[in-house]
Structure 1
Amino acid sequence: MPPSLWTHEFMNEMRTKADPLADAVIERLFTEGKVDAVNHLMRTLVENDDLPSARLPPYVVEYLERTKASVPRLDPERLRAGQELFDLFGPEVMMILGFYSLPAAYAARKGVQVLYRTGFLQKRPVRRVFETAQMVVDVMTEGGMEPDGRGVCTTQKVRLMHAAIRYMIRHDAANPWDAEELGQPINQEDLAGTLMTFSYVVLEGMKALHIELTPEQQEAWLYAWVGVGRIIGLDERLLPANVEEARQLTFLIRQRQVEFSPEGVAMTAALLEGMKQLTPDLLDGLPASMVHFFLDQDQWQGLNVADMLQVPRPDWTTIIPHAIRHIADLTDWVGDNTFVAARLLRYISKDIVEGMLLVERGGQRTPFYIPEHLQDSWKVKPGIRARNAKRRAETAPMGNDSNQKVA
C-alpha cells in the first residue's frame, strides 16, 4: 500500500482490526470448554523452543501450516544479507533493543495498555528483554526464516500468545477494555508500530551509534522483518516496501500514538531495573543514560521522550554513548578489533548479551539461547557459554505437570 494511503482515517480503521486467523484458534479452544487444552497450549508456547505437533489440536497444527505459507516466497539472498548484519552487529542490536526499541514502544500510550495489563514485566522485569531478544536471535540467525526454522516457529508462537492475551482482555469482566478509546487489544496499528521497533528503529539506533550501513544492508534488514510481519499476521497494507516507507510509517505512528501515560512510565521504570541485571554494577546508571541518548534525539520532532517516560537523569555513564558518537565522528567504522569506539561499544553490548546467557528466566523456561557460531563470532567468554549450555541441558526434558502455573 503506497504511503500516501496511510491516512489517519486508514490507521483509525486498523485500530479496530485484530487477527481473525489466530483469534479463531484461541476462541475455539475456549468455547469448546477446553481450559486444560488452553493451559497446555500456553505452557507449551512459553516453555519450549519448538511446537510438538503431536501434542497439539489439529486446528492448531493447521494454523501452523497456514502461517508459514509465505516463508518459501522469501528471497534467500536478501534474507541472508539481513541476517549477516546480525552476525556482525548482534550485541549492538541487542543493546539498541533494550535501550531504544522497548522504551520507544512504551511511549505509545494506547499500545502500552496491553503490556501493562499482562503485568509480567513488572513482576519479572528482565523477562520482556529476554522474549524480545530471543525472537530477534531466532529470526536473524541463518536458517531461522526457513519453513521449519526457529524464527518462524517463534513468530508463530508469539502470534498465538497475542491472540490468547487478546481473548483474556476482551473477556475480563472485572476490568473491561475500552475498545472505543484504545482500539482492539494488540490491533493492527500497534502490531505495525511494534514491527517498526524491530526494524526501522534498530536502523535508527545503529545510525545514532555511527554504525554505518550501506543502503543495501538497511533494505536487507527491513526485508527480513517484513517477512516476520507476514507470519505474525500484519495486514499487507501496513508492510513497507522499503526503508523510506518504513520511516514514513514509523513517524506517522509516533505522531499518532506517542503521549504520556502512567503505564508507560511504570513499564519503563521496570525495564530499567531489569536492564541493570544485565550490566556490571559499576555501570548501574548506564540503562538510564542510554535511554536518554536514544530518546532525547531530534527524530522525535522536538519531544524529549525519555523525560516524558520519567527516565532518571543520566549519571557519569552518559559519557559512554556520547564518547562513542564523538570518537566515531573522527574516522570510519572499521570493526570491533581495530577502533576504540567500536571496541568500547562492543565491550558494553557484549556484557548485556553475556548477562542474558547467565540470568535465570524463571519457571521451567529454556534458558536464553544463542547459536554456537554467533557466540564464537561475538567472542562470548567460555565460562559463560559452559554455564548456559549446562542449564539448557538441565531444562530440555519438559515435565507434564498439569498443575504448573503459567506466568
Structure 2
Amino acid sequence: MPSSLWTHDFMDDMRMQMDPLADGVIEKLFADGKVDSVNQLMRSLVGNDDLPSNKLPAYVMEYLLRTKASVPRLDAEKLRRAQEVFELFGPEVMMILGFYSLPAAYAARRGVQVLARTGSLRNRPVRRVFETAQMVVDVMSQGGLESNGRGVRTTQKVRLMHAAVRHMIRRDWRAPWPARELGEPINQEDMAGTLMTFSYVVLEGMKALRIELTPEQQDAWMYAWKAVGRILGVTERLLPDSLDEARALTLLIRQRQVEPCPEGVALTGALIEGMKEMVPRPLEGLPASMIHFFLDQDQWQGLNVADMMQVPRPDWTTSIAQAITCVGGFTDWVGDHTFLPAKLLRLLSKDIVEAMLRAEAGGQRTHFHIPEQLQTSWNLKPLVRRPSGTHRVQDALVTDASLRVA
C-alpha cells in the first residue's frame, strides 16, 4: 500500500480493526468450554514436529493451514540472506531488541495499555525479552520460515496468544476496555507498530551501532519480516514494500503514539531492573546507558524518549556505545581485525544471550531455545540444559492474563 495512503483517518480506522481469523478460533474454543484447550494448543504448536491433527478441532487445523498458505511462495534466496544477517549479528540484534525496540514500544501510550493490563510483565520484567528473542530466533534460524518451520509455528502460536488476550480483555466486565479512547486491544495499528520494532527499528539500531549492511541485506531483512507480518495477521495494507515505506509507517505511528504515561514508565523501569540480571555485575548501568544511547535523540519527533520514560541517567557504561559512534566504515565488524569497542559490545551481547540460556538451564524462568548452529556461530559457551520441550513463555502469558481479566 503506498505510504501516501497512510493517513491519520486510515490509522484511526486501523485502531478499531482486530484479527477476525484468529479471534474466531479463540471464540470457538471458549464457546465450546475448552478454555484449557487454549494452553494445550499453545504447547502443541511448537513442541511437536508433526501437526497434532488428531487432537485439534477442525477449525484450528483450518487456521493453521490458512496462516501458512503464503509460505511456499516466499523467495528462498531472500530468506536465506536475512537469516545470514542474523547468524552474523544475532547477539547484537538481541541487544537492540532489549534496549531499543522494547523501550520504544513501551513509549506508545495507547498500545502499552494491553501489556499493563496483563500485569505479569511488572512481576516478571524480562519475560517480554524472552518472548521477543525466542520468536526472532525461531523465525530467523535456517528453515524457520519453511512451511513447517519452527518460526512459522511460533508465529501462528503468537497470533493465537494475541487473540486469547484480546478475548479476555474485551470480556473483563470488572474493568471495561475503553475502546473509544485506546482502540481495540492488540489492534492493527499496534500490531503493525510492533512488527516495525522487529524489522525497521532493528535495522536502525544496527546502523546506530555502525553495523554496515548492504541494501540487499536490509531488503532481505524487511522481506522476511513482512512474511512474518502476514502470518501474524497484520493486514496487507500495513505491510511496507520497501525500507522507505517502512520508515514512513514507523514515523507516522510514532507521531501518533509516543506519549508519556505511568504504565510505560513502570514497564520500562521493570525492564531495566530485569535486564540488570542479564549483564555482568560491574555493568549494571549498561541497560539504562544503552536505552539512552538509542532513545536520547529520537529520530521520529526530536523527543528525548529515554528521559520521557524516566530512564535513570547513564553511568560510565555509556562510553561503550559512544565509542562505536566515533569510528565508522568497518565492514568486517566481527572479524579478527574488528575495532575494540565492537569487540566489547559483542562480548556484552553474548553475555546477555548466555544469561538467558543459563536462566533456562537452571529452571528459573522459561524454556529458551537457540539452535546449535547459531550457538556455534556466535561462539556461545556450552551449557548443561534440560531436555528440549515446549516453549512456556507464551503459555504463561495467556495463563497470567486469564487470571487477571477472564
TM bin, normalised by shorter chain, reads: over 0.9
Matched, 1:392 2:387: yes
Return closer, same or farther for 1:43/1:151 CA change in 2, 3 Å cut-off: closer
Q: Does 1:214 align with 2:214?
A: yes
Counterpart residue identity of residue 24, structure 1:
G
- Matches of 2:150 and 2:210, distance apart in 1: 30
1:125 and 2:125 equivalent?
yes
Letter in 2 for 1:27: E
Q: CA deviation at 1:323?
A: 1.2
Deviation (angstroms), 1:373: 0.9
Q: What is the identity, as a one-letter code, of the residue corresponding to 1:406? A: T
- Residue number in structure 2 paired with 1:348: 348
CA gap of 1:4–1:178, structure 2 versus 1, over 3 A, is same
Aligned partners of 2:337, 2:207: CA distance in 1, in Å?
20
Correspondent of 1:334 among 311, 327, 332: 332
What is the alpha-carbon distance in structure 2 between the residues aligned to residue 128 and residue 286 of structure 1?
A: 18
Counterpart check, 1:59 vs 2:54: no
Distance 2:174 2:42 in 1: 22
Deviation at 1:61, TM superposition (A): 1.4
Q: How big is each residue's C-alpha offset from its partner over 1:116-141, in whole Å with a ceiling of 9 and x where there is no partner?
A: 11122112112110110000000011
Does the C-alpha gap of structure 1 residues 361 and 102 become closer, same or farther in structure 2, counting only changes over 3 Å? farther
The aligned residue for residue 149 of structure 1 is 149
Q: TM-score, normalised by structure 1?
A: 0.92
Alpha-carbon distance in 1 for matches of 2:237, 2:361 = 36
Partner amino acid for 1:112? V
Decide which of 395, 399, 403 is 1:406's aligned counterpart.
Answer: 399
User: Residues 305, 366 of structure 1: CA spacing in aligned structure 2 closer, same or farther, 3 A cutoff?
Assistant: closer
Aligned to 2:104: 104
Task: Find the aligned partners of 2:210 and 2:391 in 1 and give their Cα distance.
Answer: 44
State the distance in 1 between where 2:249 and 2:160 align: 25
Is residue 333–residue 342 contact of structure 1 (8 Å, CA) maintained in 2? Answer: no
1:264 Cα deviation after fit: 0.4
**Maintained 8 Å contact 1:25/1:59:** yes
| Equivalent position of 2:260 in the other structure | 260
Q: Which residue type is aligned with residue 95 of structure 1?
A: M
Do the aligned partners of residues 357 and 74 (structure 1) sit closer, same or farther apart at CA in structure 2, a change above 3 Å counting? same
Q: Label 1:343 to 1:282 Cα distance change in 2 as closer, same or farther (>3 A).
A: same
Give yes or no for contact 2:278–2:351 (8 Å, CA) kept in 1.
yes
Q: Structure 1 residues 123 and 55 mapped into 2: Cα distance closer, same or farther (>3 Å)? A: farther
Structure-2 separation of matches of 1:49 and 1:262: 40
State the Cα distance separating 1:159 from its structure 2 match.
0.2
Aligned to 1:316: 316
CA distance, structure 1, for counterparts of residue 219 and residue 391 of structure 2: 40
Tell me how far 1:363 sits from its aligned partner. Answer: 7.9
Structure 2: 5+ residue stretches without partners: 393-397, 401-406
Q: Residue in 2 aligned with 1:250? A: 250
CA distance 1:43–1:365, shift in 2 (3 Å): farther
SS in 2 for 1:359: helix
Q: 1:361 to 1:378 in 2, by over 3 A?
A: closer
Q: Structure 1, residues 16-60: CA drift from partner, whole Å, max 9, x if none? A: 100000000001111222233335335556x94766333322211
Matching of residues 3-402 of structure 1 within 5 Å: 3-42=3-42, 44=44, 48=47, 52-326=52-326, 328-329=327-328, 331-336=329-334, 337-339=336-338, 340-360=340-360, 367-382=367-382, 384=383, 387=384, 390-393=385-388
- Greater CA deviation, 292-301 or 107-116? 292-301
- Change in Cα spacing, 1:277 to 1:310, as seen in structure 2 (3 Å) is same
CA-CA distance at 1:316 after TM superposition:
1.1
C-alpha deviation, 1:392, in angstroms? 3.1
How many Å separate the matches in 2 of 1:397 and 1:324?
A: 36
Whether the 8 Å contact between 2:80 and 2:142 is mirrored in structure 1 is yes
Give the number of equivalent residue pairs. Answer: 392
Residue 324 of structure 1 and its aligned partner are, at CA, apart by: 1.9
RMSD: 2.1
Report the CA distance between 1:364 and its aligned residue: 10
Q: Is this contact kept in 2: 1:105–1:112, CA < 8 A? A: yes
What CA distance in whole angstroms lies between the structure 1 residues aligned with 2:260 and 2:361?
30
1:401 maps to none
Kept in 2: contact 1:103–1:268 (CA 8 A): yes
- Structure 1: tracts of 5 or more residues without a match: 399-404
Does the CA-based 8 Å contact 1:48-1:365 persist in structure 2? no
Contact 1:279 1:355 in 2 (8 A): yes
CA contact (8 A) 1:91 1:378 kept: yes
For residues 118 and 210 of structure 2, the distance between their equivalents in structure 1, rounded to whole angstroms, comes to 36
Note if contact 1:101-1:201 (Cα within 8 Å) is conserved in structure 2: yes
2:361–2:386 CA contact under 8 A, matched in 1: no
Give distance in 2, aligned partners of 1:374 and 1:52. Answer: 28
- Is the contact made by 1:324 and 1:344 (CA closer than 8 Å) also made in structure 2? no
Q: Which amino acid aligns with 1:391?
A: R
**Identity %, equivalent residues:** 70
